[in-house]
Structure formats: C-alpha cells, structure tokens
Structure 1
C-alpha cells in the first residue's frame, strides 16, 4: 500500500533559485526522455540492456514498461508513428494541460502559476471529486520545459516539483491530495514526408492509500492518449508547415 506522510513543510526560495533548480531537474528529465525514445531502435524491438519490456504492439503503436529498481512505480512508454502529422503540428498539443485533459475529463483547474523563462513554466493541475480513482481530488504542481535539439527533435519535459517547494509556491487547498508526476514528457522526431515519431513517457505516484499494483495498471493507460492528441493536432494545422 502507498501511504506517504503528508508534507507539513514548505520552502520559500527566490525566483532565481527556483529557475536554477528547475533547469537542473528538467535537464535530467530531458536526457531520460531522449534515452527512452532511442531513434536508432525500431518499434517493438526488445533491448534487454535498456530495461524496457514491450507489452503490446499493434498498428505501429508500441506500449512498454520499465520496472523501477527502488520499488517505486513503473515507468510506461508509448511510441507512435504518426502519418500526416508534422512535429510542429503535434508539439502544439504536447503539453501538460492538454495531456491532463486526456487523462481525465474532470480536470477542474489547469493554470500557469509562473513563467520562469520563455520555455520554462510552473503549472497547477487540479482534478475534481468525480475523477477516476487515480486522479480523484488530486492536484499536481509541475514544471514544463520545451526544447528543440540540434537535429530538430522536439522535447517537452513535465514533472512535479518537490513537495516542499510546491508547498511554498502553492499551498495545498482544502482536502486535496497532492500527487507526484515523477517524470513525463514527449520526444517528437521528424520523419520523411509530413510525419513524425512520437515517444511519450509517464511515471506517476498519485499518493494517498492505493495499492501499487492498482496504480501501475492504471498508469499503463496514461500513455495511450496520443491518438486523441493526434486528432487535436490535425484540427489545428500550421500555416506553411511541410
């Protein structure tokens, strides 16, 4: 059972210190995402050295998981070959808020708390009482960092701030349970033609009293939202995109 002690401490830090911390933490997340995408490895191929185990492979869509060595929650990954969708189109919906809307329709609040840089923001996600068990009455304080790599690959890293820092920025309200998005994000790679390869990774700890096996089973479904995001992207074409 998962029963972390409630966080009663909060840290008040300067904006410069917060920015430095988030840049450092997000850089690690970006490297993890790039490693998970591994464009040199084909979809559906198990590589025993990288820890990923393919769970399903159908119609060019791979769902995989990686066990955490410290007994934490599994990390789940989906890899999709999207045809007739450019990286620039898909990246418009590859963000923390649009993903949260697909996770659960009872997202009652999604707002930017602070912009630390042009590509670096702090966001609050709040789910209501009618949400699915994984998100019911839960909130997440996350950073979102967007980067374009030298080869044109687009990366979006999203993860929770440490509880003490989050409490200093945004005190927990009412009886909400503050969960942790341990790591998540997208890697969007351009392919020949107007297509792209999208890798999406999620590792989530909802906190509260919930068996890990139940959480892992539900986490598996979180990486299956790319089809819905693809439809959103196709509905918002970008002028001049090729």
Structure 2
C-alpha cells in the first residue's frame, strides 16, 4: 500500500491483490456477527420483538416485512426479517445483493453501483442517498465491500461494511454535496426453511 502523492493524508492507492486480501479477512468477522445476530433474532410472535440482539425495540410491519430500528448514541441499527415461500436460498441469492437489500428498507436510495469486482463473490459498491431520503441519511454515501458466502449448513450470507475512508477515497473520490459515512458490520443471512422456502434477516448498522 502506498500513499497517493496528491492527497497523502486523505487517500491511499492500493493494489487489487492487497484490496482483495484486506476485504476477505475483514469480512470474516462481519460474517460471524451476522450469523450470531440471525441466531439470536428469534422472533417472538406473541410479544412482537426480536430477543437479545435488538433488545425491546418494537417491530413494525411494512409490506409484510418486519422492521426494527434502534439508536444508541451515534450508532443506528435497522433490522428487517421476512419469509419467502417457495423460494430457496439459492434462488434468492441469484438476485439478492447489498443494493437490493438496501432498497428493501429505503426506496429513496438514489444511486447504487458496483465500482470494482474483485472476485465472483467479492466486490466494491457505492450506495448514495439523495436530498429527499430519510433525514438521517440525507445526502450520504457509503463505499462498501460485499462478500457472498455459502455456509456448510446451506445458509447463505451477504457481508457488507465500509472500507476505511482513506482506501475508499483512493477508489472513488467523494462528490462535493455528499457526506461519506461508515457502514459497520451489515448484510443479510438467508436461512433455509421447510418446503423449499427461506427466511431473510437483513441488518444495516451505521455510525454518524
């Protein structure tokens, strides 16, 4: 890794091999966090909340999707869960990615694109929210990695988190009217259910 001469203190130039290695190892802890959150998010249909991980936050329903939101200081967490009948995890993953998952809970996402493919299941994405998005996300953007992994039990994980700001700046310079923030360990877990169906748990955790 070497510093960019033009902006040594704000951006880094990094080789594709080094970036691939960094993302692979950084995403390992993200995958474990998502699996842990998914296991502890057992939905209590009587009391309408997810236990342990989301605490006592109330769950609302939007378009048949259970959504919970929690704020703790600068940390904002959004968690959603929905069941897809007659859809296997493999079928879901052929169309699902970080971009589609973000649109699931915030249709005001104005721009989303892959800016670099490192491997078939490893890439770098830009997510941008416009001036009409929810107040908390207005004019924000995130430069994140996305890793898709199939676990031994057949469940599938999409791990997503921001790159360090110096690396992100080297890959994609920030636009003048956007505020670049950090997306912490986020993504989705697709669990196999009976009758070739699946349950999707999606977590979006950011700090600003």
**Fold shared per TM-score above 0.5:** yes
How far does residue 190 in structure 1 lie from its aligned partner after superposition? 1.0
1:35 and 2:42 are equivalent in the alignment: no
> Residues 26-105 of structure 1: matches in 2 within 5 Å?
26-38=27-39, 42-44=42-44, 47-48=51-52, 52-56=55-59, 63-64=67-68, 71-102=73-104, 103-105=106-108
How far does residue 149 in structure 1 lie from its aligned partner after superposition? 0.5
How far does residue 126 in structure 1 lie from its aligned partner after superposition? 2.3
Report what 1:218 is aligned to.
none
- Give the distance between the partners of 2:67 and 2:134, measured in 1 at CA: 21
| Equivalent residue for 1:192, pick from 181, 191, 194 | 194
How far does residue 138 in structure 1 lie from its aligned partner after superposition? 1.9
More strand by share: 2
**Conserved? CA contact 1:148–1:154, under 8 Å:** yes
How far does residue 125 in structure 1 lie from its aligned partner after superposition? 1.8
- Give the distance between the partners of 2:51 and 2:35, measured in 1 at CA: 16
- Give the distance between the partners of 1:126 and 1:57, measured in 2 at CA: 25
Report what 2:10 is aligned to.
9
| Equivalent residue for 2:169, pick from 160, 167, 175 | 167
Report what 1:152 is aligned to.
154
Q: 1:106 and 1:28, CA in 2 relative to 1: closer, same or farther beyond 3 A? A: closer
- Give the distance between the partners of 1:128 and 1:54, measured in 2 at CA: 28
Runs of 4+ in 1 over 3 A off after TM superposition: 45-48, 50-54, 60-68
User: What is the total number of aligned residue pairs between the two structures?
Assistant: 194
**SS at the partner of 1:38?**
helix
- Give the distance between the partners of 2:134 and 2:50, measured in 1 at CA: 32
Q: 1:66 and 1:33, CA in 2 relative to 1: closer, same or farther beyond 3 A? A: farther
How far does residue 61 in structure 1 lie from its aligned partner after superposition? 6.3
Report what 2:19 is aligned to.
18
Q: Structure 2 length as normaliser, TM-score?
A: 0.79
- Give the distance between the partners of 1:174 and 1:114, measured in 2 at CA: 22
CA RMSD after TM alignment:
2.8
- Give the distance between the partners of 1:164 and 1:140, measured in 2 at CA: 13
**SS at the partner of 1:134?**
helix
How far does residue 181 in structure 1 lie from its aligned partner after superposition? 1.5
Report what 1:4 is aligned to.
none
Q: Deviation per CA, 1:162-203, whole angstroms, max 9, x where unpaired?
A: 111101111112221112211211111111102112111111
Q: 1:98 and 1:80, CA in 2 relative to 1: closer, same or farther beyond 3 A? A: closer
Report what 1:141 is aligned to.
143
